[in-house]
Amino acid sequence: MPYTDLPPDHPAARTAGLPEEPADFDPFWDETLRTAREAGSDPVVRPVPDSPLTTLDAYDVRFAGWAGQPVAAWLLVPSQAEEPLPTVITYIGYSGGRGRVVDHLPYASSGYAHLVVDSRGQGHDTPDPHPDGGTHWVHGYMTRGIESPHAHYYRRLVTDCVRAVDAARTIPHVDPERIVVQGASQGGGLALAVAGLSGDRIAGALPDVPFLCHIRRGAETATEGPYTELVDHLRHHAPYATERVFATLGYFDGVHFARRATAPALFSAGLMDPVCPPSTVLAAFRAYAGEKDIREWPFGDHAGGGGATVVEHLRWLRAHPRLRSS
């Protein structure tokens, strides 16, 4: 696969201008999260019946997300571990859900509690009952509620993901001072959003090939979806609405969340990624305010480093004394 973005040795690949953020970005999110927390309730944690796992304990978790609506998650914990544990919270890639407990073994097998958060309307266990807030014509989630940030789909999903941190901090298995957020693609963008909105409530972030970063550049350079949903929308249905569309999406851009994030972070980027072009990932990395590092995979596509990425995560976690598992 050839480079779909600027080659990494091209000067502009690492210096492209950053998007301008909405003037009311902070009040928008302050009000959104305040309202969600007021509608909240305690999470419900139940053992998974007939779990096939023998070295890990598996739990079904339901917690209050956007508007108090229930969000599903899995919690995996090493059996007979000394608790509370450092915890990884994982957010899922585009069009996916929490799947099955057996899909998520590496972190818990390495001594961490692991909370895997379902994506509303994308997974099978968390519906999105909210209306889209306006017409959308393109299959997918990028244009749902595109007329206003207040109605946009990602306002609800980002809120769910922040509320997952709130819920995790109340679960006895979890050490509330040692929570790391993680995800790839859409999940990476959500991890960045949570890092920017949670302050010192998290201890680390692991955003891999993150989606939703420098969204306009993504729409201009990606050759595979989901950014191409925006291209289709603007080309066929809203050719005069370009500025309004990107003004809405500015409230969900990972670059703006990165500016507010202070927890240590390890990013990753595939330099031949046609889905999340590396210049969009590098834009968020450059903006990130906390201690940061990045793993660049020169011939990586949207899978980045594949299984090597988890190895890098575990090495990075163990290099931080506060985040080591026992």
In whole angstroms, give the CA distance from residue 248 to residue 149. 5
Q: Of the listed 214, 233, 302, 313, which one is catalytic?
A: 302
Is residue 302 part of the annotated active site? The answer reads yes
What are the residue boundaries of the structural domains of the chain, listed by start?
A: 11-319
pLDDT tens for the chain, 326 residues long, are 577 786 767 666 666 678 899 999 999 999 999 999 999 899 999 999 989 999 999 999 999 999 999 999 999 999 999 999 999 999 999 999 999 999 999 999 999 999 999 999 998 899 999 876 444 556 789 999 999 999 999 999 999 999 999 999 999 999 999 999 999 999 999 999 999 999 999 999 999 999 999 999 999 999 999 999 999 999 988 788 999 999 999 999 999 999 999 999 999 999 999 999 999 999 999 999 999 999 999 999 999 999 999 999 999 999 998 898 87
Q: State the pLDDT at residue 11.
A: 62
Cα radius of gyration (the chain): 19
Is 266 in contact with 34 (CB distance < 8 Å)? no
In whole angstroms, give the CA distance from residue 251 to residue 229. 18
**Alpha carbon of residue 213 to chain centroid:** 11
Is residue 273 part of the annotated active site? The answer reads yes
Q: Of the listed 273, 279, 313, 325, which one is catalytic?
A: 273
Q: Is the pTM of this model over 0.85?
A: yes
Is residue 185 part of the annotated active site? The answer reads yes
Which CATH number fits the domain 11-319, given the four candidates 1.10.286.10, 3.40.50.720, 3.40.50.1820, 1.10.10.10?
3.40.50.1820
Q: Of the listed 185, 198, 268, 279, which one is catalytic?
A: 185
